[in-house]
Amino acid sequence: MTALDDEARVIEAGRPPTRFARGWHCLGLADAFKDGAPHEIEAFGTKLVVFQGEDDGALHVLNAYCPHMGGNLAHGTVKGDAVACPFHDWRWSGDGRCAGIPYARRVPPRARTRSWLTLERNRQLFVWHDPEGNPPPPEVTVPEIAGIHGPDAGEWSDWNWKTLRVEGANCREIVDNVVDMAHFYYVHYAFPEYFKNVFEGHVATQYMESSPRGDMELGTLSSGNLRSDASYYGPSYMIDHLYSDVGGGLELEIVLINCHYPVDADSFVLQYGAIVRRLPGMTDEQAAEAAAATAEGATVGFEQDVEIWRNKTRIDNPLLTEEDGPVYQLRRWYEQFYVDAADVKDEMTRRFEFEIDTQRANTAWRAEVDENLARRAAAATEAGAP
């Protein structure tokens, strides 16, 4: 073995955490669960059932497997404010108590199943997950989006929402993108002109201004300049305020949601959706089309990410340059959601700021794009020559 071999960097792949993150997790658009039927969600290493009570109108989330004989409640029916097991018709109310057994004289006093704490906000359904079983502190609640709850909500489109299951990757892969400036050029075909991160408390924010590459089919959300203020509120729910230059001095305002919940240690469900604020003279239909185009653009971008995630290895000791951003600091912030509340350290939550100097990177990248365009122009000229 040579000295060079001795110095080779060895990847520490490690193992994903054995617990799931503490925090609010979005299960999807609330209306999707309000059709009178129970819905199965595979998450947190088990299965859940989501149903709307016929009388109280509330959405409830329970463990899906019936404590009686293990029937799957998500394959049962909603009866009143309870979900009935398809196996023996045991009925479970939203608080987890058995509401009745039609063929039995009495309900066993210990007939309870787990009821998950829920929150409806931004027309989405959230569940609270905490391995210690503690209730959520008020300061970590999901913020309201002005385009949904504010006085100007009528100026915004409805959600255009998409879901994608990612196999063979841990949730940390998507969270790493918060600091990864360079991948926006190589994976999403954009020049990140400005890039800054701020972490504080349970919030991690990415500020970015970008412009599209001229030598690639666009995988970005816009063919023009784009400003993005994106914040993770907790471990899994990002609100991204986007401002897209559409020409004529007009700027299209978009809210993009990027959220996920874990299925198990090596897979998660990625969900994302967009609402768009109508421009002057824009009809409801045009706003809906703009939201759909934004969601489709996000689909292209996320599919590019997923292709990377599915084929890379987990790496706990990445070898970094300054331009790679504060990966280790982000992971230290992220760790707060995987330890007991009493073990959250100040270094995980205290304010941290880091701005990347993108000038050198963009100078190199623009030269590369110019070379690509010149090469294509020369090839086209040669192909057209007599």
Q: What is the pLDDT of residue 306?
A: 87
**Distance from the Cα of residue 18 to its chain's centroid:** 20
Average pLDDT across each block of 10 residues of the chain; the chain has 386 residues. List them in order.
68 92 98 98 98 97 98 98 98 98 97 98 98 96 95 92 93 96 94 97 98 78 80 98 85 93 96 91 87 82 87 95 97 98 98 98 97 93 75
Burial label for 262, CB within 10 Å (0-12, 13-18, 19+), is buried
User: CA 346, 352, 354 angle in degrees (round to 5)?
Assistant: 155
Enclosing H/E stretch for 290? helix 284-311
User: CA 90, 56, 270 angle in degrees (round to 5)?
Assistant: 80
Q: What is the pLDDT of residue 6?
A: 64
For residue 136, what are the CA distances in angstroms to 22, 118, 197, 288?
A: 9, 11, 26, 35
Please check whether residue 96 is in contact with residue 83, taking contact to mean a CB–CB distance below 8 angstroms. no
Q: What is the pLDDT of residue 383?
A: 81
Neighbour count for residue 318 (Cβ, 10 Å):
13
3-state class (DSSP) for residue 94: coil
User: CB under 8 Å to 44, separation ≥6 — which residues?
Assistant: 20, 129, 261, 262
Bridge partners, 165 (sequence order): 269
Q: What is the pLDDT of residue 179?
A: 98
Biggest CA pair distance of the chain? 94
Q: What is the pLDDT of residue 284?
A: 87
**178-192 b/e (C-beta count within 10 Å ≥ 16 → b):** bbbbbbbbebbbbbb
| Tokens matching residue 306 | 């997923």
User: CB under 8 Å to 362, separation ≥6 — which residues?
Assistant: 191, 192, 193
| Tokens matching residue 106 | 């009495």
| Tokens matching residue 65 | 């497997």
Q: What are phi and psi of 224, to 5 degrees?
A: -120, -165
pTM tops 0.75, yes or no: yes
What count of Cα atoms within 13 Å lies in the side-chain half-sphere of residue 233?
19
Q: What is the pLDDT of residue 178?
A: 97
